[in-house]
Structure 1
Amino acid sequence: MTKKRKIITMIIGIISVIIISLFGAGIYFFHVAEVRAPKTFINNQAMKPTNSLYRYEQEFNKLKKTTWHQMTPGGLKLDAWYVANPQKTHKTIVIAHGFAGNKQKMAAYGEMFIKLGYNVLIPDDRAAGSSAGKLIGFGWNDRKDYVRWIHQIVKKDSHSQIAIFGVSMGGATTMMTAGEKLPTNVKAFIEDCGYDTVKNEIAYQAGAMYHIPAYPLVDIVSLISKVRAGYTYGEASSIKQLHKNTRPMFFIHGGADNFVPTKMVYRNYAATQGPKKIWVVPGAKHAKSFETAPKEYQKKVGNFLARYM
C-alpha cells in the first residue's frame, strides 16, 4: 500500500469514527430528551410544608376528581383529571404540565384556578403520568391532544368558556395549541416560562448542561426525532404557532430563569397576533413565578381572565 493510500485510508477511518460517535451521541441525547424515563436533572421531590404553594397543593388533593380519557389517532390512551368548581360555572381552565411532569405536579395551579372560580382539567401528556406513550412530545405532538381535550369540554357543556394555561413545556404546549383551529369557546391563553422553539431550547441546554456546542449534535438528535417521533426540533415552534393566534395571551416568565432563558418570552410576546400582556417576575427562577409571588400571581392571572371570560 502506497503512502498516499495509507493516508486516505486513515482519513476515511477517522471520519467514520467521528460519524459513528456523533450518531451514538445523538441516540443518547435523544433518549435523554424524548424517551420516557426518570430524568435525574428534574426535581421530583415532594413539595415541602415550607413552600408557599404547599397549602394550595394540599387543598387541591382533597378535591373530588373525575378521570377523563381520550384515544389519540395513533392509539395512545391519555388520562386527565377533571375537577368541577364547587360553585357551578361554565368557565374551565385546561392546565398543561411541564417536561417530565404530570397532573399531580400541577395541583397547586389547579387549586389557584378553583379559588378563582373555574372548573379545572389537567391532562397527563403522552408519555407522562397515567397516560400511555414512550416518547415525550415537547408540546408539538401534544398540541392536537389538547385540541381534543377542548372538544371534550365543549361536548360536555356547549356553553363552556375555556382558557388554556401551562408552565415550562406546558407553556410551550399552550402557545403551540394557540395556533390550531379551535372552537369559539376558547377565550384566552396563559403561558408561564415556555420556550420559543424546541431547537433553541435543546441547543441552549446542550451548552448549559453538557458544555458542548449545539452544532452538529442538535441537528442529529432532531433528525432522529423526525424518524422516531415524527417532528424535527425546528418545526416544533411556539413562535410559528403564535403568528396564527389572534386570541388574548398572557406571558409570564421568571426574571432569573436559567433553564428557559428569559429572553425567549420577548420573542414569544412579539410573535402573537392577539391582545397580549407580559409579566417578568423579578428574581423568579424557572417555573417559580407562582411560588415567588403567589398572591400577585393569582391576582394578575385572575384579572387577565376576568377581562376575556
Structure 2
Amino acid sequence: MAFLIAAGLFGAGSYFYKVAVVPAPKSFLSKPQKITHSNPLYPAHEWYQHVNKKRWYEVSATRHLILDANYIPASKATTKSVLIAHGFMGNKDKMFSYAYMFHQLGYNVLLPDARGHGDSQGNYIGYGWPDRLDYVKWIKKLIATNGQNSKIVMFGTSMGGAATMMVSGVKNVPRQVEAYVEDCGYTDVYDEVAYQAKELYHLPKFPLVGIVSLINHVKNGYSFKEASALNQVKKNQRPMLFIHGAKDHFVPTRMVYSLYRVDKGPKQLLIVPGAGHADSYQKQPKLYEATVKTFLEKYVK
C-alpha cells in the first residue's frame, strides 16, 4: 500500500512538474489579445514592429545555453539603459509596450529571452532564479557596450518582476545598476506554485508542491523555496519601485506588501486600482508612466 501511495504521489508530482516547469503552451494562461487600432497599446506595437532592433547573444551563467535578446538604442546617445525581463511563458517581443515607454523616456532598451523562452535555449522554466545570474551577465554586456559611466535600470513583470528582485540581492551586482522596477512579482516560487495548485486544481500544497520542487532540484539544481525574491530583496539597498494590480488573482496582491516591507533601500509602492495580473500598465497607462518617470528621475540622474 505504501508503495502504491508513493508511486501515485511521484506520478502526480511528475505530471505537475511538466505543468509548472516544462516550457510549453499552458491552458491556464490567457491567450494574447490582438492589438487593434482601438487598443491603447497600438502605437507601441507599431513602433516595436518597425524600430531598428539589434540581435544580441549571451551564454547563460550555468549550463552554457545560448541566450537571445533584442537591443534598441535610444533615439539620442545616452548612458541610460534598461533591461526588461518578461514573464512566465512570455518572450522579449511581448514586452513591446514597456520597451516603448522606456524608449520614450530616453533609454537604450535591452530585451532578453529567459532560459526556455522565446529564442533562448533551455528545457525548463527558471522562475527567475537561475535567470538572475544570466541577467547580471546581460547587465555587464550593457556596460561593456555603453561604457563604465552606464546608468542601468532593471525592470520586469510577473516572473520578470520576481527575477528583478532576485537580481537585487545578488552579491556584487555592478554599481551601474541604479534602480529596479518590479511589477507583480511573487515572494518565492514555492508560495506561487502552491497558490496556483490550490486556485487551478484545488490541491493542497503538501505534499505535492514539495515533490515537484524535489524533482526540479534534481533536474535543474534549485528548490522552489530557495528561489526566493523575498530573501533576495532583503539584501537590496538600491532604489526599487514596487507595482501591483489591486485585483491580481494570479500573483495575489498580498504578496507585494511582504516584499515591500522587507526591502532595505529607498522604495515606493504603487497599487493600481482595478488592475489584474500584469495589467496595470494597460489599465492605467498615464498613472503608470508618470509614476515610473518620477521615480527614475529621482534616482537615475
TM-score (normalised: structure 2): 0.96
- 1:295 deviates by 1.2
- 1:33 deviates by 0.8
Determine helix, strand or coil for the equivalent of 1:121: strand
Q: Distance in 2 between matches of 1:58 and 1:21?
A: 50
For structure 2, the 5+ residue unaligned runs are: none
Q: Which residue of 2 aligns with 1:63?
A: 51
1:26 aligns with 2:32: no
Q: Which residue of 2 aligns with 1:6?
A: none
Q: Which residue of 1 aligns with 2:293?
A: 302
Q: Distance in 1 between matches of 2:27 and 2:199?
A: 15
Q: Distance in 1 between matches of 2:162 and 2:262?
A: 13
Instruction: Spell out, residue by residue over 1:186-226, the C-alpha distance to the aligned partner (whole angstroms, 9 max, x if none).
Output: 00000000000100000000110001111100000000010
Question: 2:120 is matched by which residue type in structure 1?
Answer: S
Matching residue within 186, 191, 209 for 1:195? 186
Contact 2:193 2:209 in 1 (8 A): yes
Question: 2:145 is matched by which residue type in structure 1?
Answer: K
Contact 2:35 2:41 in 1 (8 A): no
Q: Which residue of 2 aligns with 1:173?
A: 163
Matching residue within 47, 51, 57 for 2:39? 51
Q: Which residue of 1 aligns with 2:127?
A: 138
Instruction: Spell out, residue by residue over 1:160-187, the C-alpha distance to the aligned partner (whole angstroms, 9 max, x if none).
Output: 1000000000000000000012111100
Q: How does 1:1-309 map to 2 (within 5 A)?
A: 13=1, 15-49=2-36, 50-72=38-60, 73-157=62-146, 158-180=148-170, 181-309=172-300
Q: Distance in 2 between matches of 1:47 and 1:265?
A: 29
Determine helix, strand or coil for the equivalent of 1:122: strand
Q: Distance in 1 between matches of 2:31 and 2:167?
A: 26
- 1:48 deviates by 2.8
- 1:42 deviates by 1.7
Q: Distance in 1 between matches of 2:34 and 2:262?
A: 35
Question: 1:24 is matched by which residue type in structure 2?
Answer: G
For structure 1, the 5+ residue unaligned runs are: 1-12
Q: Distance in 2 between matches of 1:260 and 1:47?
A: 24
Q: Distance in 2 between matches of 1:43 and 1:276?
A: 31
- 1:52 deviates by 2.1
Q: Distance in 2 between matches of 1:51 and 1:43?
A: 17
Could you list the runs of 4 or more consecutive aligned residues of structure 1 that deviate by over 4 angstroms after TM superposition? none
Determine helix, strand or coil for the equivalent of 1:82: strand
Contact 1:32 1:39 in 2 (8 A): yes
- 1:45 deviates by 2.6
- 1:36 deviates by 1.5
Determine helix, strand or coil for the equivalent of 2:129: coil
Once the two structures are aligned, what percentage of the paired residues are identical?
A: 48
Question: 1:116 is matched by which residue type in structure 2?
Answer: L
Instruction: Spell out, residue by residue over 1:116-141, the C-alpha distance to the aligned partner (whole angstroms, 9 max, x if none).
Output: 11110000000000000001100001
Q: Tell which structure's C-alpha radius of gyration is larger.
A: 1
Contact 1:53 1:294 in 2 (8 A): no
Q: Distance in 1 between matches of 2:26 and 2:46?
A: 25
Contact 2:35 2:45 in 1 (8 A): no
Contact 1:47 1:54 in 2 (8 A): no
Q: Distance in 1 between matches of 2:256 and 2:277?
A: 12
- 1:51 deviates by 2.8
**Number of equivalent positions:** 296
- 1:83 deviates by 0.2
